[in-house]
Amino acid sequence: MKHALKIYGPAGLLVLVAFVVAYQFIKPAPPQHVRIASGGEQGAYFIFAQAYARLLAREGITLEVVPTAGSVENLRLLREGSVDTALVQGGVSDPHDEAGVLPLYSLGSLFYEPLWLFVRTGPQYRDLGSLQGQRVSVGAEGSGTRALAMRLLSENGVDAANSTLLDLEDEAAASRLRAGQVDAALFVASPDSPLVRSLLQDPGLRLVSFDRSEAYSRRHRFLNGVTLPEGVVDLRENLPAQDIRLLAPTANLVVSADTHPAINELLLQAMQRVHENGDWFSQREEFPQPDLLAYPLAREAERYYRHGPPLLQRYLPFWAASLVDRLKVMLLPLVLMLLPFVKVMPPVYQWRMRARIYHWYDDLEDLEAEIMRSDASAHAALRARLKRLEEQVLRIRVPASFGHLQYHLREHILLVRSQLRDRD
């Protein structure tokens, strides 16, 4: 055992040093607490964020849902590092895009998020241009609704100089629209939004169709023309009474460059489960998708859309898959160091053990040569040297598997002694 340690000990120490060096490159463990900027508590963003939170909780990750005014505020919080991920409306301009700050990436688009224009029944508002001179709710400051509404209203000649544009929260806008305190209200929301569902079923309100949706989508590539089919809201009441054309950006789940890759992979799986069934405007498994993006696609998302969930996460709990994934860098020094050791060290060990025996043959051959040249007067000294050599050989300690070599050496010493005796 002692001999083996002398040979394999330095090799093991070298492997240990390689592990220590490799450990410096191990990715940090994923955080146990993550924050997502969602939107208003009555909106679809908040509902979907809570669904993600429930799915991540199964893997031991707490996803804190942070209510906000909307996409503009979400982007600000994400840039500041106050949240790790955010739901963002496509087409919302980001004032920090060219400021050299922390880059943002999309995990994919999630669903069509139509622009809904509700007006009171009676006045025949046909499009955005007909709202000039009216009281219009354009969404709260910091919301994606306001960002899109102001852009499209301006293109139709409606602005604060000729109309009353009100920055109202969605609930307040709906309440004042029903009360007749505003003439029209714009909302950007998923059809899953409870507020939108209630407005669609309100007999005192009318949803305006964007008959020029094709023109809008050609002018703004982030907008898509979608159709709300006749009767889809309520078949018995036939709501709506006819097909209605709408404009729809897509909602994206956006992360910062600092968001842990393992968290991105968990979010992608949550997105798949929550949105794969589609809705009024999309087919089953149409979303999530790697197109219609607000920001470049994250690397984890590229792999996910090509190959599905990571192999380890298909068969292991998240914590175990994450641990193995982080420690796989340790396998590199293990393979690079141990494979040569497996091949090289056994021969080296055998050579070292044989060398403990074989180097005595040099002394024995020298004695034999001197015996052949000597006369009787030198035999006593040669006999003493031969005895010392034999005593030293007897003190050699080798493993039992190499004991036969020691016995062979001793036999050869006896042979040389017999030669000396013959010359007396």
pLDDT at 321: 60
CA dihedral sign, ordered 77, 79, 85, 88:
positive
SS (H, E, C) 58-97: CCCCEEEEEECCCHHHHHHHHHHCCCCEEEEECCCCCCCC
Fold of 31-108+254-309: D-Maltodextrin-Binding Protein; domain 2 (3.40.190)
C-alpha triplet 172, 176, 177: angle, nearest 5°: 115
**Kindly report the CA angle at 252 between 192 and 272, in degrees rounded to 5?**
70
**Which two tokens mark 238?**
């036939």
pLDDT for the residue 416: 76
Give the pLDDT score at 271.
95
**Residue 112: what pLDDT?**
95
Q: Give helix then strand counts, H and E, for the chain.
A: 14, 12
Residues 81-122: tens digit of each pLDDT? 999 999 999 888 665 554 556 789 999 999 999 999 999 987
Question: How far apart are the C-alpha atoms of 319 and 359, rounded to whole Å?
Answer: 57
The packing angle between helices 261-275 and 299-307, to 10°, is 50
What's the confidence (pLDDT) of residue 86?
96
Report in angstroms the alpha-carbon separations of 84 from 72, 80, 104, 257, 261.
15, 10, 10, 9, 11
The rounded distance, in Å, linking the Cα atoms of 131 and 165 is: 10
pTM above 0.85, yes or no: no
CA distance 360 to 356: 8
Q: Which CATH architecture is the domain 114-248 placed in?
A: 3-Layer(aba) Sandwich (3.40)
DSSP secondary structure of 375-400: -GGGHHHHHHHHHHHHHHHHT----G
From CA 421, how far away is CA 424, in angstroms rounded?
5
DSSP conformation class of 144:
H
Say if residue 395 is exposed, middle or buried (CB neighbours under 10 Å; 0-12, 13-18, 19+).
exposed
Instruction: Give the sign of the dihedral formed by CA 250, CA 255, CA 257, CA 261.
Output: negative
- For residues 63 and 295, is the Cβ–Cβ distance under 8 A? no
Instruction: Centre a 10 Å sphere on the Cβ of residue 401 and count the other Cβ atoms it contains.
Output: 9
Give the residue among 245, 256, 324 at the shortest CA–CA distance from 27.
Answer: 324
Residue 387 confidence (pLDDT): 83
Residue 144 near residue 92, CB atoms below 8 Å = yes
pLDDT along the chain (424 residues), means of 10: 54 61 60 92 90 93 94 92 94 61 89 95 86 95 92 95 95 95 95 92 95 93 94 94 95 94 92 94 93 92 87 64 60 63 68 75 79 78 80 78 78 79 72
Give the C-alpha separation, 305 to 307, whole Å: 6
Four-point Cα dihedral 182, 209, 47, 318, nearest 10? -150
Which pLDDT does position 98 carry in this prediction? 47
- What are φ and ψ of residue 328, in 5° steps? -65, -25
pLDDT, the chain, mean: 84
**3-class SS of residue 293:** coil
Task: Determine the pLDDT at residue 192.
Answer: 87
Return phi, psi of residue 85, to 5°: -150, 160
Contact 221, 255 (CB under 8 A): no
Distance separating alpha carbons of residues 212 and 234, to the nearest angstrom: 25
Round to whole Å and give the CA distance between 248 and 188. Answer: 8
Give the pLDDT of residue 7.
53
Assess contact for 231 and 240: CB atoms under 8 A.
Answer: yes
